Amino acid sequence: MTHYLIQYIEWGVQHAAVWGLLLIFFFMTVESSFIPFPSEIVMIPAGFLAYRGELLLSSPLPDLLLAILFGTGGSIMGAYINYFLFLKLGRPFLYRNAKYFFLSTETIARAEEIFNRHGEIATFICRLLPGIRQLISIPAGLAKMPLPRFTLFTTLGAGIWSAILALTGYYLASLAGNVSYADLIVNGKENIHRYFPWLILGLSILIIVYILLHRKIMSSKSAVLK
């Protein structure tokens, strides 16, 4: 599947200045919905194109910021599709028709388990975890998670993930010279996997800080109510 999709990415590169940002938004919307699609194939080349100044503004840093912005926006749109769709359709419909959404009941159950165990913060955490990141918006919709909080946590997680991938492509472009886009994607995925423990460590620190602040705020509210 990756090899097949790379061909479309290479075609898109030829039209990047005109259509690049819209393609980033579109494919990240698809990636963030229930349709299987690797975000690395979109955001790593986006960072590469930004470094070369081949996007809208023809300037590396502004193009990089735009790529991250459009990638994050597409991720939010795809998450909204899952959220509102299953908010309306409900849990029984989803389990009866899971195969039509390219899902298995086991995968859905696992996403629900994670969401129920870790609460709303799972919407943020799972946006950074391959294999579950696209699906965590489904139990959020089923649980009728408040839309402002869903948007906040999804934006934070999607923004960080989009930035990581785009910066990977940006960095590789600074080293790559005339490397092909197929090699770029493969090398970028390897770098993500290589430094994944450090990413998890940083994420863990953020989560601990969030939990401590959350408990402090809740304790303050409890004291006021008493």
Give, as one character, the DSSP assignment of residue 126.
Answer: G
Q: Which two tokens stand for residue 210?
A: 């969030």
CA dihedral 141, 142, 145, 146 (to 10 degrees): 60
In terms of pLDDT, which residue wins out, 4 or 53? 53
Q: Which of 60-69, 97-106, 138-147, 202-211 has the highest mean pLDDT?
A: 60-69
Q: Which of 151, 174, 158, 79 is nearest to 125 (CA)?
A: 158
- In whole angstroms, what is the distance from residue 160 CA to residue 142 CA? 25
Q: Tens of pLDDT along 111-162?
A: 777 787 777 777 887 787 766 777 888 888 888 889 998 999 999 999 999 9
At 78 the pLDDT is 92
At 4 the pLDDT is 63
Instruction: Report, as an integer, the average pLDDT of 154-177.
Output: 88
- In whole angstroms, what is the distance from residue 144 CA to residue 122 CA? 14
Give, as one character, the DSSP assignment of residue 129.
Answer: S
